Chain A
Amino acid sequence: MRFVQGSYGLCVACGLLFAFCCRSLAQAPTVAATVEDALHQMEARAGVIFTGQVVAVRPLGSNALSPAVVEIDFRVENAIRGCTAGSTYTLREWGGLWAADGARYQPGERLLMLLHAPTAAGLSSPVDGQDGAIPIVGATSQVASASSVAAIGAVAATESVDLRWLAAKVLRPLQYAPPQLHRGVHPLAAGGLAVAADGARASSRESSSSVAMVVAMLRQWEAADAAR
C-alpha cells in the first residue's frame, strides 16, 4: 500500500485520505441479492446488448492456431443497446481468449449477449467473461415419444434464457453441517448421489426466464439509463 508522504498540509492529507476512502468504497465489488440484480449489474457495465444467433466465426491473423483477433458475426434478433435489430453485429475478440481454449462460440448458437463497448481498437468481450454470453434454450418438456399425441400435449415451445450461471453470482450465506456418515449407492443417471446435479437442477428451474421477459426487463433498464 502506498502512503502519502512529504510536506503537504493537513488538509491535503485529509482530502487524499477521504479520496482513498471513497475510492475504496467505490471499488468494493457489489454483490447481487437476486438473479435480477446480477443481470442488472452486468447490464450496467455493458455497452452492447442484444439477443442473436451466431452466424459466422472468423479467426484473423497469420497464425490460425493462435489468431490475433477472432470476429464473430451475430444476426441480431432483439437489439437492446448499441446495435440494430435485424442487422449483423460483429464482435471482435482478442485472440488470446481463444488461443488456449478453442471455440468460444459455435455457428447456430443463440445467445443473449452483454458486451463491453468496443475500445477504440475495436476489441470487446462479454461482461464477466463468458457469463455475459448467456445461452438461449428451448423449453423444458417431458416428451417420451415425439410421434405420439401426448407429445403435442407437452408442447411448450417458448424459448428461455438460461440464467443458471448468473444465479451462481447471487449472494448466499455459508453454512456447515455436522460431520455425516457416507452413502454407498450412486445412481449415475437419475441423480440420487448427484449432489451437484441436483443442486443445478433446482437452480435451473429457478433461473430460467423467457426471452421475452428478459428482453423486456433489459429494455426497461436501458430506457431508465437513457433517461438519466
Chain B
Amino acid sequence: MPRVSRLRGWIACALLLAICAVAHAGGPRWVTGPPYFTTAGAPVVWYTNAPQYFTDPGDLSATVNHAAAEAIVAAAASVWNVPSSALVLGEGGSLDEHVSSANTYLTASGVQFPADVQASNYLAKQIAVVYDYDGTVTDLLLGSGASDPAGCRQSGVTESVDSIAADGHILHAILVLNGRCTGTDPAMQLQLQYQLMRAFGRVLGLSWSQTNDNVFTQSPVPTYQQALHWPVMHPIDIVCGPYTYQCMAQPFSLRMDDVSALDTLYYIPNGTAPPGKVDTLAGANRVTGTISFPTGQGMRGVNVLARRLEQFWGTPEDWYSVSAVTGSLDRVNNGNPVRGQGTTLGDSMGRAYPGLEGLYALTHIDIFPGESWQDILIDTEPVNPLYTGQYAVGAYAISTIAPSGTTTTQESQVQLSYGDSVVSEQPKGAAAVCDTSSDGDESSPALVPTTGWWSGMLCPYGHTAWSTMTVRGNRSLTMEATAQDESGYVSVHKMRPVLGVWNASDPTGTLPTLGAASTAFNTPATATTGLTVTVSQPAALRMVVAEERGDGRPDFHYQARVLYADSVAPASVSATGGVVTISGMGFRPGNTVTVNGAAATVLSWSANTIVATVPPSAASTSTSADVTVSDPLTGGVSTMYGALTYAAPVAQRLLLVSAPSGSVFVGDALTPSFSVRVTQLDGVTPIANQQVTFGVVQGAARFAACGASTCTLTTDATGTAATAMTVLAPGLTLASATAAAGSVTTSLNAQTRVRTLTLQPASVYVASGASLSLALTAALADNSAPVAGVGINWTALTSGISLPGYWSTAGAQGSSTLPATLTMAAAHQASLRACAWSSVCAVMTATSVAQQDLRLAVVSGAGQSVAAGAAFAPVVLQVSDVDGHPVVGADVTVRQTLDSGTPCIGHGRCPLQPVLATAQSTLVSDANGEVQVVPLQQGSTATVTNLAASSGTQGFVSLSVLQTP
C-alpha cells in the first residue's frame, strides 16, 4: 500500500492550513462569493449557532394532532445536535397562528405568509415550521394537486431558505409539512419525520454527500456496514417500498459523514468548546489536502473519501466514514463572455482562487472508541453523474465532471486526537498539458483556420478562446464546439462549451451582439454546442469558445468548427439547374445542400468545397435562390442568401438529328448514332445543359453513353445529345429520346446476324502430277446479302498449294478472287482456308487423281452431221475420276483422221476410205475438267472425221462427225 503522501513542503502545508483555517472546507450547500456576498469562499451558515424553529400551533392533519406533530418535528431536529458541532438547533416555541390558505396568499410581492412567518422576522423566529393541515399551502406554493398523497416522497416537506444575508449567514427558513402525507399508519409519520430530518440538514446549510454510494447504486452490492455509513444527507433515496426511511439502516441516526459535514460548517476550534460541547477534533482527526493536475492546477469535483485503519490492525474498514468533494469552496459560476456574470444569489457562490480548486477537507473522523490513534486511508472517485441540480454533490451542480487520471490509496498514519493532517495527490495519467498559446484573446483574436476546423483546450481556470474571420453579406454560418476529454473522446462530463459571436468592431467586454449559445449541448450531436448567426453585410467577426461555468482545466478539450458557405460558382445556372461548386469551410462528407429548400445532389466534399448538381428552378422567371449547406449530424447550417441565379426557363423543341432504323442486326453498334438536339422554338438556336433521357420503349437495347438501357445526357453547346446504341434481342425495338421539350422515337427491326464465307470452288480434283493455276473466289454474305469491304485472310494448310498473298478484301460484289497455284503430287490432298470476321471460315481442298483413275467422256459435239460449208461445233470432252468428279489439269491426247465419206453401195466388204488428213493434239482439262476439240473439216465432199481421245491410262473416248456434200 502506498505510504503517506505528506505535504510537498512546508510552504504548501502552510498555504493549505491557512485556507482550511479560513474556510473550514467540507460540503457546504452555499459558499460566499461576489457580487452578492461581502466575503468569498466561506460556507454559508446560520447567523447564530443556536437557530430555533417555531412550529405551527394547529394540528398537522386529521390524524396527527399538534402534540404528535411537535414530537415529529422535535425528533427530526434533535438529530442535528451533536457535541462536536457548535450548532444548537432548538425549539423556540409556536408561531402566532395556524398557517393555512386562509392567511397565506400570493400578492404582487410574492407569497404572503403571516407576519411572524416572514423572513423579516428572522431575529425572533429563524425557522418557521408550518403544519399544512389540508395541503392547501403546499398547493399554493407548488401548484394544484402538489399535496396529493401520491407525491408525498417529494412534497411531504417543502423547504425554503428564504433569506441569506450578504455577510454569508442564513437568516430565515420555512418548512412546510404536508398534512396529507400523514395517516393512521405510523409509518407515514415516520416517513415525514425522515424527510423533515433531511430538510433540516439542508436548512442548516449542508450539501448532499456521496459516501458509500454503492448503497444507492447497488453496484457492488453493499455490506450492511456500508449501509450503516450511508449518510443521512445522501442525495437520492432508495425506493424499496412505500416508505423510503425503511430502506435505510438506522434511518434516524446521523452518520460520521453527516457529523463531519455539520462540523465543517459549525466548527469548534481547539480549546473553545462551550459547556455541553466538545472541540470538533477532540477524539477525532481532520484530513485536508488537494487533488491536482500535473500542471499544478487543482482538480475540482473529485469525491475524496476516508476510511479508518485501527491501530495495529492490517485491514482497514470496508466502508467509508467521511467524504468531501474537492473545490467545494471554489467559484460555482465564474461567468463567461457569452452570458456575462449573473448577479443572483446562485451566481454569487464561491471564490475564484486557485488554491481552492482542488481543495478538500474531511473535518471530523472519529478515532476508534478506546483507541489513542488510528491510520486514515484516502481514496477518490468521481461524483455520480445523477447528482446534479437539486441532487448536486459539490460545486459542479449543472453536471458532474469526470476526473482525470488514476489515483491510489493514500495513507495518513498515526493520527492522534486532534490530529490534523494533509494528504495531497496528483493522479497518475492526469492531463498534464495546458497549452493555449495558439488561442487569440478578445483584443486580438486568432484567425479561424482555413479548413474551418480546429482543436483547443480551455485552461487554466477562466480561459476563453477567441477567433476571427471575414464573411460576406447575406450569409449565415454555424459555429460549433464539441467537448472532448484529454484523450480526444467526446464527453459530456468535461467542459460545457458556450459560444458567442460579435462584429469585430464591437467594443470588447460586451455581451455577444450577433448571437449567443449560452447553454451547452444544444444540438442533437453528443456534447456539441452550436450557434448559427446571420450576417447581412460583409463583416469581420469575433467569436469565442468559453465554458458555461467560466471554468477551465487541462482536461477541458474541444473540437471547434465554423460551417460557412462563402460562394457558389457559377453564380448563374439555367432554369434546369446544373453543376456548381460551393466554396467555404467546415464542410465534411455527409453535408447536404439545398437550393430554396430543394435538395441538390452532392457529388463530392472537401473541407473547403462541395460540388453539387442543383435542381431545376420551379419559377417561371429568372430568380435568385438561397443555397444552404447543412450538417445533419449537428444541425449546423450555412446559407448564402440569394447567391445563385436561375435563368428564366425558355420554350424548347426537341429535334431528331439521326437515329438507326429499319433492319439491323442484334449486337451491332448501330450507325448512325441516336442523336437529338434541343433548340428554342425557332428550331435553330441550341439550348445547352438540357437533360435528355434515352430509353427503350419496346424490345431490348443498350446505349453506349452509359452502358445501360436508360441514359440521361446533357446537351452540349450545340444543344445536341447523342449516343450509339446496340439492339440486344431480335424483333421490333422502339427507342426514344425524351427531354422537357418532348420526345422522339425510332423503330428498328432486329434480326440475329448469320455471316457466311463461301469458297468457289470448294473442292477440286487435279490430275496427279499436274501443276496449274486455279482462280479461287471467296464470297462473303450477311444473311445472304453480299458484304463488301471485309478483309479475307487466306491460309494454305498443306503443301501443293500456294497463293500470291494472304490478305484480300471483298469487292463490291462481296467477293475476292485469288489465283492459287496447285502442284499435285501423286496421292496428295492439298487444302487452303479463307477466313473473314475472324471466325467465319471456309476450306478448299484439291485432291490428286491418279492417271489410272482418269476417265474421259463426251460432253457435247458427238454425232454431228453438217452440210459442206457449215462448221462443226466443238466437241467437248470431260475428264473425271472414277467417281465422276471433274478433274482439272489432266492431259487429254486427241487424234483425228479425216476420211472420205463415199457411200458403200452393194454387198460385201466396202473398200477402205481414203484418209484425207490426220491431226493429233494434247489438251489440258480446265477447271471443269473439260477440253474442247474442233473436228477436222475440209472440202465440199462428204467426209467423216474420226476423233479418238485419251487421258491417263484408262480414259478413252472416240466419236465421228459427218460432212455431207
Per-position binary interface string of chain B over residues 358-394, scored 1 when its CB falls under 8 Å from any chain A CB and 0 otherwise: 0000000000000000000101111111110111000
Indicate if B70 sits at the interface (CB-CB under 8 A): no
Cα distance A173–B246 in the bound complex, in angstroms? 11
Q: Would you list which residues of chain A between 46 and 62 have a CB under 8 Å from chain B?
A: 47, 59, 61-62
Q: Would you list which residues of chain A between 163 and 191 have a CB under 8 Å from chain B?
A: 164-165, 168-182, 184-191
The answer to whether A123 and B140 have CB atoms under 8 Å apart is yes
Cα distance A142–B485 in the bound complex, in angstroms? 12
The answer to whether A96 and B210 have CB atoms under 8 Å apart is no
What range describes how many residues of A lie at the interface? 35 or more
The answer to whether B523 and A138 have CB atoms under 8 Å apart is yes
Interface residues of A: mostly helix, strand, loop or mixed? Answer: loop
**Contact partners of A10 in chain B: CB under 8 A:** none
Indicate the member of A96, A152, A171 with the most B CB atoms within 10 Å.
Answer: A96
The answer to whether A45 and B145 have CB atoms under 8 Å apart is yes
The answer to whether B184 and A1 have CB atoms under 8 Å apart is yes
The answer to whether A168 and B144 have CB atoms under 8 Å apart is no
Closest to B403 in A: A188
The answer to whether A62 and B239 have CB atoms under 8 Å apart is no
- Given contacts A157-B524, A184-B408, A188-B381, is CB(A64)–CB(B343) below 8 Å? yes
The answer to whether B522 and A29 have CB atoms under 8 Å apart is no
Cα distance A130–B398 in the bound complex, in angstroms? 13
Cα distance A66–B184 in the bound complex, in angstroms? 38
Indicate if A81 sits at the interface (CB-CB under 8 A): no
Which listed residue, A29, A108, A187, touches B242 by the CB 8 Å rule? Answer: A29
The answer to whether A20 and B184 have CB atoms under 8 Å apart is yes
The answer to whether B154 and A121 have CB atoms under 8 Å apart is no
Cα distance A191–B485 in the bound complex, in angstroms? 14
Q: Would you list which residues of chain B between 386 and 418 have a CB under 8 Å from chain A?
A: 386-387, 389-391, 398, 402-409
**Contact partners of B528 in chain A: CB under 8 A:** 138
Indicate if A206 sits at the interface (CB-CB under 8 A): no
Cα distance A202–B218 in the bound complex, in angstroms? 11
The answer to whether A185 and B406 have CB atoms under 8 Å apart is yes
Q: Would you list which residues of chain B between 176 and 235 have a CB under 8 Å from chain A?
A: 180-186, 188, 210, 213-214, 216-225, 227
Which listed residue, B146, B181, B213, touches A196 by the CB 8 Å rule? Answer: B213
Indicate if B526 sits at the interface (CB-CB under 8 A): yes
Indicate the member of A66, A146, A173 with the most B CB atoms within 10 Å.
Answer: A146
Shortest B479–chain A CB gap in Å is 14
The answer to whether A199 and B218 have CB atoms under 8 Å apart is yes
Cα distance A198–B539 in the bound complex, in angstroms? 49
The answer to whether A193 and B379 have CB atoms under 8 Å apart is yes
**Contact partners of A148 in chain B: CB under 8 A:** 588
Indicate if B111 sits at the interface (CB-CB under 8 A): yes
Shortest A95–chain B CB gap in Å is 5
Indicate if A222 sits at the interface (CB-CB under 8 A): no
Which listed residue, A28, A103, A165, A169, touches B185 by the CB 8 Å rule? Answer: A28
The answer to whether B143 and A119 have CB atoms under 8 Å apart is yes
Cα distance A190–B607 in the bound complex, in angstroms? 33
Which listed residue, B162, B236, B349, touches A168 by the CB 8 Å rule? Answer: B236
Indicate if A94 sits at the interface (CB-CB under 8 A): yes
**Contact partners of B160 in chain A: CB under 8 A:** 94, 96-97, 99-100
Indicate if A101 sits at the interface (CB-CB under 8 A): yes
Indicate the member of B151, B315, B391, B451 with the most A CB atoms within 10 Å.
Answer: B151
The answer to whether B345 and A102 have CB atoms under 8 Å apart is yes
Which A residues are closer than 8 A to B by beta carbons?
A: 1-2, 20-21, 23-24, 26-32, 41, 44-45, 47, 59, 61-62, 64-69, 94-104, 106-110, 115-119, 121-125, 127-131, 137-149, 151-152, 155, 157-159, 164-165, 168-182, 184-204
Which B residues are closer than 8 A to A by beta carbons?
A: 1-2, 29-30, 36, 59, 62-65, 68, 105-111, 119, 139-146, 148-155, 160-164, 174, 180-186, 188, 210, 213-214, 216-225, 227, 236, 238-243, 247, 302, 307, 315-316, 318, 342-347, 349, 377, 379-387, 389-391, 398, 402-409, 427, 430, 451, 453, 482, 485, 488-490, 492, 517-519, 521-528, 555, 559, 561, 588-590, 607, 632-635
A-B contact pairs, 20 of them (CB 8 A): A24-B184, A28-B185, A99-B160, A101-B346, A102-B347, A102-B349, A110-B522, A121-B105, A121-B106, A125-B146, A138-B523, A148-B588, A157-B634, A157-B635, A165-B236, A171-B241, A188-B404, A188-B407, A196-B214, A203-B386
